[in-house]
Chain A
């Protein structure tokens, strides 16, 4: 497996000023909308604590809750399948479709089906798969992975979408009206909904007590996918379980507020039992989750409810875009989840962080994301997967930081350097941090000098 070169991929994105500027601004706007909305909920911090505790309780009793969920779902008339890995998941979906002569599958967004690479698998076997979420459809037509968990095409501008649509679903390549572009997709997708043989959704929450699943969308495309064709298949990651219906109150109050700054998604849909004359299948998928649960430091990442807030707040993500992470999951959560699938391939991702800790602070289920990033760095270093440049600079930093005298000399030198050096030197090509960033003004005095001076005075 080829190693993902995060820095290398980011260069393509950074090279284009217009895209970079919009991407950064749009995601920061989501972060600000989140802050404004969350500040209206006086019990927000209490909700975070509850959400985290419910998830930790469930994960430490996961086998029991999965059995309870399965038992209730079966009693409701749902056909329940279990898949150990992506291949088994894809095979089950294909078997369900083929045994019912289904050729066209309409689906709503699901990170799990991305993780399983289900679309190419089915398409190679003569099944037409249609993503119906606008952003996800854009990414499907452009043969790219989603670049963000919640807003899959956020790295694209309307000009890109117009050009893409003109060579796929029609329209003028220079269309500048965003409503016209959205309408184009609505009109193109509608006949597919009406003629689909089967519908598929992911799952945000699976409730053991009811045997039902909850799916959150803003477009209503999950409701169309599941309620127009008579066959509904839902792919469910086993970590989506929660014990009771009342626990949805906690998570649904938080999900959209934390993701987009909206009180709730337009549609919060609950599927418990097939409708009259219909058929419903739940596929419970492991695909590495049970192995992750066994990792002492990293099992907390299974609490994730996929709100994307850690991506919106991350300065590295905002300036490199999701595609540069080279995996299904990007941003801070991707930096800690992807290495559990393949440490060699994703060994660079834990370094795509400034360690500012903002991701952990906005996480609705209190995942210690930045601490996990740090722990992955240690593992990467122990496995000798560090790049040469990083090794050299770490060695030097190690020496300087180990000696107070060397350190103070270096700080003094740096203060003078920041003040006196010409821009060409500060922002030279070797200084990765100098790209796309301005250095803050150097303080007139170091903390150590100030402290010594103060001590001398008193």
Chain B
């Protein structure tokens, strides 16, 4: 008998009397004021909310925030950067990237999280190998809480999906908070509606 059958048989023998599965409410009666709540939660998680200048838009903001950046790899039409993610063949090529630019499909106010999958990234490592990440977010794409998030269809289509809440962080040595443990050192969210130039 192979292990699969052995495990399933053992479990069927061992399973205690059946218990019911409860229904899960949305807990959305206290409606979140989505933009303000998103900004507050994002700040707690160490993310930065920055408006782009009307003149120059996200491209100008990136130049202002990262004046020494030599490599800006973009996955969005609003920013030209120095290289488009479609021209990158292997994740390892992203090693020397200073700034990555993405647009999440949606965001969650409760936790200050942005949702990204391979569709938004084009190459998933774009969210982790660059030193800094900039995300253009349409404020209309912010939803309330995690119960609502986990009812979105996007999860069923994505091979990979992440709820990213601030930059990479650790407090593993004496509880001292470090931003930029292994992944990006900073995460900047720029409110910028889709198609806005």
Binding site for B on A (CB under 8 A): 22, 26, 29, 42-43, 49-50, 53-54, 56-57, 59-63, 66-67, 76, 82-84, 88, 132-135, 138, 151-154, 156-158, 161, 178-179, 181-182, 186, 189-190, 193-194, 210, 212, 218-221, 223-224, 226-228, 238, 243, 245-250, 252-253, 260, 262-276, 284, 286, 290-291, 293-294, 296, 299
A181 & B173 in contact (Cβ 8 Å cutoff): yes
A82 & B4 in contact (Cβ 8 Å cutoff): yes
A293 & B15 in contact (Cβ 8 Å cutoff): yes
A219 & B24 in contact (Cβ 8 Å cutoff): no
Q: Given A50-B24, A62-B11, A264–B169 Cβ distance below 8 Å?
A: no
**A-binding segment of B52-60, B68-76, B125-133:** B125-133
Distance in Å: Cβ of A342 to nearest Cβ of chain B: 19
Q: How far is the CA of A243 from the CA of B155 in the complex (A)?
A: 15
Q: Given A83-B3, A220-B184, A294-B14, A272–B159 Cβ distance below 8 Å?
A: yes
Distance in Å: Cβ of B175 to nearest Cβ of chain A: 5
A246 & B147 in contact (Cβ 8 Å cutoff): yes
Neighbouring B residues of A82 by C-beta, 8 Å = 2-4, 7
A253 & B124 in contact (Cβ 8 Å cutoff): no
Distance in Å: Cβ of A234 to nearest Cβ of chain B: 12
Neighbouring B residues of A274 by C-beta, 8 Å = 159
A134 & B150 in contact (Cβ 8 Å cutoff): no
Residue-wise interface mask of B (150-176) relative to A, using a CB-CB cutoff of 8 A (1 in contact, 0 not): 110001101111111111111111111
Interface residues on B, range: 35 or more
Distance in Å: Cβ of B170 to nearest Cβ of chain A: 5
Q: How far is the CA of A267 from the CA of B169 in the complex (A)?
A: 10
Q: Given A179-B178, A294-B13, A219–B146 Cβ distance below 8 Å?
A: no
Neighbouring B residues of A223 by C-beta, 8 Å = 124, 127-128, 162, 183
Query: Counting CB contacts under 8 A, is B196 at the interface?
Result: no
**A-binding segment of B77-85, B97-105, B106-114, B134-142:** B106-114
Query: Counting CB contacts under 8 A, is B65 at the interface?
Result: no
B150 & A246 in contact (Cβ 8 Å cutoff): yes
Q: How far is the CA of A43 from the CA of B147 in the complex (A)?
A: 13
**Can you sample 26 A-B contacts with CB below 8 Å?**
A53-B20, A57-B20, A61-B18, A66-B7, A67-B8, A82-B2, A84-B6, A84-B7, A134-B182, A186-B182, A193-B182, A210-B155, A218-B168, A218-B181, A219-B168, A221-B181, A250-B24, A266-B164, A266-B165, A266-B167, A270-B158, A275-B118, A275-B160, A293-B11, A294-B14, A296-B16
Residue-wise interface mask of B (22-43) relative to A, using a CB-CB cutoff of 8 A (1 in contact, 0 not): 1010010010000000000100
Q: How far is the CA of A267 from the CA of B113 in the complex (A)?
A: 9
A60 & B17 in contact (Cβ 8 Å cutoff): yes
Neighbouring B residues of A61 by C-beta, 8 Å = 15, 18
Neighbouring B residues of A134 by C-beta, 8 Å = 170, 172-173, 181-182
Q: Given A29-B175, A249-B146, A228–B125 Cβ distance below 8 Å?
A: yes
